[in-house]
Structure 1
């Protein structure tokens, strides 16, 4: 039995689902019905707030689709985090744009953040009418989801419906890591509070996660550009023209023209050559 209802909770549209299927055959049909209604009712993405929300997105064989839009555009890089990923492929996602607004604590730990120039940002995405981004999609086992949630907890988790490059909606929704705010993160996700959370980055003087006044980490940006280029001209040009600085005006193509593209020749440190090697 499926009960599917559209509602608004805390200003966010969401889909509430009760999914009960006592047999395998019923499970398959119920899931197909759910995904059908999910696709036609999802004019806005649905927030994934609990582990059980991710469970609903799992395919009958226990896999969950993940969207990659930055470093995960590279399958080699994606496999450093998800070594058992399956079915890596290209897709597009309508209604979102990429932004360099997430302060990457990882960059500080590995010595590739530049605090003098504020080149410390990683990518995120946010809803934006009229924008479309080319992304990568792959599947991971649902047993990997708890570790994924913990690793990416600074992000807002959304369920979205990607499309093939020729515009056909995917059968299964996918998980997207989207922009969050510090206020929401510390209210809903970070039980230890701001003081304890930032202790892990104390020596780097990080006091805010989400910022509009920072610039891309050079090693990370180089990797993302090379990864997009490896997927073909459409993905490459889409990355350059539909990825923005925190001002939401300057595209990465314009930014590269302004700062000079010589840094594209800079190699990542040995510890990151696989993960950020393009």
Structure 2
């Protein structure tokens, strides 16, 4: 146990002074290339050859971005343009409908209706939508993967997903409603995230009449002060007991079973959602797409979850 605990000591860039990395407001985005893919071949051959050739030449695009720095004033203004932050339960009241229902955006495991119902048994109106000017990033440590024994500390495959603003990006999401009475449990379960009120659009391009909540990137400084109210005891209960001293990082990789689950869930939604997930979900470097990453690590999609987690991580 001591060896396991010691192995959980994390080091990375100083997230205390980084609300968001500068690259989140990107000016260009990759273009998905929709094609029908064989069941066991999840990647375009040309993209795979390109990535593997760079790897053979000694150049890896899996390195951390070297120019991480604080947001400037313009970036902060753009961030506020996209959304409104919901800091507590009272803020959630502002986006509830007349039936006291709150809309939730799913972008990772909640792309799966099975996973969504396991978390929110009484959810209503599960459907697909699009969230403009956001992208998915594997950039934070998830304690639940450590608790369930599916994180690989040595390889840094310990990350879950969040979203963050990015000009020009669009992600396919799921949307559903939960009752206002479930908001406290939602906040507790998604404790490490910044909650944003956003306006998704339908697949036909029409804005939804009600704003929805999405779990966005936070930062360590605000997490300590806002979520944990400056309490070391609260932080220790959630992260410190695992010797995690930094949550939001750019040098970690997706938890393998979780990534596989998200890819399968996206594929089950259809080709548009599947291609969008592969091409608009990034590692912490904000450069490497999941399509490129899985081209380097195709064995991830061949792994099976342990029996006790097959239903949770089965896509």
TM-score by length of 2: 0.73
Q: Using the alignment, how far apart are the partners of 2:96 and 2:187 within structure 1?
A: 15
Aligned positions of 1:37-116 closer than 5 A: 43-116=81-154
Aligned positions of 1:108-187 closer than 5 A: 108-187=146-225
Q: Using the alignment, how far apart are the partners of 1:43 and 1:192 within structure 2?
A: 29
Q: Using the alignment, how far apart are the partners of 1:237 and 1:199 within structure 2?
A: 38
Alpha-carbon distance, 1:276 to partner = 1.2
Alpha-carbon distance, 1:171 to partner = 0.6
Partner of 2:47: none
Flag structure 1 segments of 5+ consecutive residues without an equivalent: 1-10, 15-41
TM-score by length of 1: 0.82
Secondary structure of the structure 1 residue equivalent to 2:301:
helix
* Aligned: 1:228 with 2:271: no
Q: Using the alignment, how far apart are the partners of 1:44 and 1:222 within structure 2?
A: 29
Aligned positions of 1:3-22 closer than 5 A: none
* Aligned: 1:206 with 2:244: yes
Flag structure 2 segments of 5+ consecutive residues without an equivalent: 1-75
CA contact (8 A) 1:92 1:164 kept: yes
Alpha-carbon distance, 1:193 to partner = 2.7
Secondary structure of the structure 1 residue equivalent to 2:258:
helix
Higher relative contact order (CA 8 A, sep 6+): 2
Q: Using the alignment, how far apart are the partners of 1:185 and 1:205 within structure 2?
A: 16
Secondary structure of the structure 2 residue equivalent to 1:57:
coil
Alpha-carbon distance, 1:62 to partner = 1.5
How many residues in Structure 1 have an aligned counterpart in Structure 2? 241
Q: Using the alignment, how far apart are the partners of 1:147 and 1:158 within structure 2?
A: 17
Secondary structure of the structure 2 residue equivalent to 1:49:
coil
The structure that is strand-richer by fraction is 1
Secondary structure of the structure 1 residue equivalent to 2:82:
coil
Q: Using the alignment, how far apart are the partners of 2:110 and 2:293 within structure 1?
A: 21
Alpha-carbon distance, 1:201 to partner = 4.5
Partner of 1:24: none
Alpha-carbon distance, 1:200 to partner = 4.7
- 1:16-72 deviation digits (Å, cap 9, x = unpaired): xxxxxxxxxxxxxxxxxxxxxxxxxx8420111121110121111121100000000
Q: Using the alignment, how far apart are the partners of 1:87 and 1:254 within structure 2?
A: 33
* Aligned: 1:252 with 2:290: yes
Q: Using the alignment, how far apart are the partners of 1:189 and 1:106 within structure 2?
A: 18
Alpha-carbon distance, 1:263 to partner = 2.1
The alignment's C-alpha RMSD in Å is 1.9
CA contact (8 A) 1:198 1:207 kept: no
* Aligned: 1:262 with 2:268: no
